[in-house]
Structure 1
Amino acid sequence: MPEGKIIKALSGFYYVLNKDKEIIQCRGRGVFRKNKITPLVGDEVHYQAENDKEGYILEVKKRKNELIRPPIANVDQAFLIFSSVEPTFSTALLDRFLVLVESNHITPIICITKMDLASKEEQETLAVYADNYRKAGYKVVLTSSETAEGIEDLYPFITGEISVFAGQSGVGKSSLLNVLRPDLQLKTDDISSHLGRGKHTTRHVELIEINGGLVADTPGFSSLEFTEIEQEDLQNYFPDIQELSSSCKFRGCMHLKEPKCAVKQAIESGDLPRYRYEHYITFIDEIRDRKPRY
């Protein structure tokens, strides 16, 4: 039975890339609806071909991970695309993305775009943020689609991996992909001056071949909630806090009101950025306040 990977899902059709680099347009069998299985872009599947162009998906293989928004499976890494300005860079939103990505066992890479639009003062501030996140163990790349700054630094990360480009609308995901692979000519839009945020230019998820890897340009996010994360596990997704926690006096320290907490000591000494801890506390409160699921 032939196998392949779904690289695009659109209007009830699934486009499967097989080992011969051929794309087969498939529909899902009725059994998927019956068993409430929705094939996702990134899925490894078995299919039955009626001819060399069309067929049916018969089986979806076990996924190593999946995301709901954007709907995609088996992702190796996520490029978290944040603009320096328009919309303004937000550490709170970035930390939210980082937690959600790492909780799905996906490696995050922080990419700050539109560096050419940032003032000198803004660039200096962003350089400090970038240094903070590198110290926390994250990979950070500063880029500009206009000047090609940092573009060459992205290619090695992409090769041989399945990546997702994720971020707010209007941060320049499609523009970045157009620079990485100019023949794509993906549609881009300016920031809406009325709404103060980007317009959605990507309407579906599709895996695109770039430099020996597959990259998904995804629709922008409007909200991100911690529906699957427990408060005891949150610090696992803050690598800088997790590393410090081994020096706390009490095992299982939540870094809230416990005495001799290494995390709070690191804040006072300046070894841990205060905003990282403040976001951790905010997320803890959010998890505690969410409504129980039955």
Structure 2
Amino acid sequence: MKTKPKIVVIGGGSGQPIILKGLKQYDADLTAVITVADDGGSSGTLRHYLDIIPPGDVRNVMAVMSNVSQDIIDVFQYRFKKEDEMLAGHALGNLIIAAMAEKENDIFRGVQILSHLMNVEGQIYPVANEPLVLHAEFTDGTVLSGEAEITAAHKVIDHIWVTPQENSGHAEAQAPSEVINAILNADEIVLGPGSLYTSVLPNLVIPNVREALKLTPAKITYIANIMTQKGETDNYTEADHVRAINEHVGCRVIDSVIMNTGEVPENYIDWQRWNEVSHQVASDPEEVRREGAVPIVGDLLQLRDDGAFHDGDTVAKLIMKIVDEKKIKN
């Protein structure tokens, strides 16, 4: 009997749903592990008032992994207008996730029940059952807490870590057993794409996640970002991203790196709209090899909305190729 390959996609932000949407076309057992350190926008407001994990990234992943009609997805993703006073800026799906968390008195269980109602194909796991606080120490020795503040500082980050909120009663951040088991039982683990220090690494520095990544027999693939980010990864090469991940985990865990060869046209980006990006990431496959990872290159570029994004279908094809090659070797 043919078994589906188990693929775990770890991240957050806008990049993760793009990859999951591409992978959904294949016969694979998908698990999304999602950061819970966001504290901006609608998610940050609900997190603050209701003391729940930020729901925005969970909502966007659920929308692409769901098999309900597009009409239902459109309602789920609907965002109230800015003149709607207390509801201004909130996505309906964020409110539904918040309601499920309160109803079940457990955000993780609430997400699982809602996933069933939304006919999600695969698993959606918040990386922790409580909101986490992101901390960063910069190269100048200063320290800031909170994702929004860290991003807004536009300073060079040395390293990050996460802690539970002060009122949680927990001394250390911890991922649920479902997350750890998914990592340990995976055939392929995919990291990114997304903000290195605020979407990808906040998942990986949770102590039991970090240990699971060291122990898993799965191949670990990093999808390199197309653009650098102001204050986070200015002047970073693809190898710099890989090095930062390995250093935060504590050993070389990245087996392969999916790297873009397509060139972003010089005058295409609307820098005012996409004001968090700086310039295209410098590509050096040999430098990536020196970090112990195999470079997998291709034109992954999708130009849309005056910005540069990954083509989810092309990336998914490369991920499935890695999975198939592992099967052949085994």
Q: TM-score range by the shorter chain?
A: 0.3 to 0.5
Q: Which has the higher helix share?
A: 2
Q: Which has the higher strand share?
A: 1
- What TM-score do the two structures reach when normalised by structure 1? 0.33
- What TM-score do the two structures reach when normalised by structure 2? 0.30
Structure showing greater Rg: 1
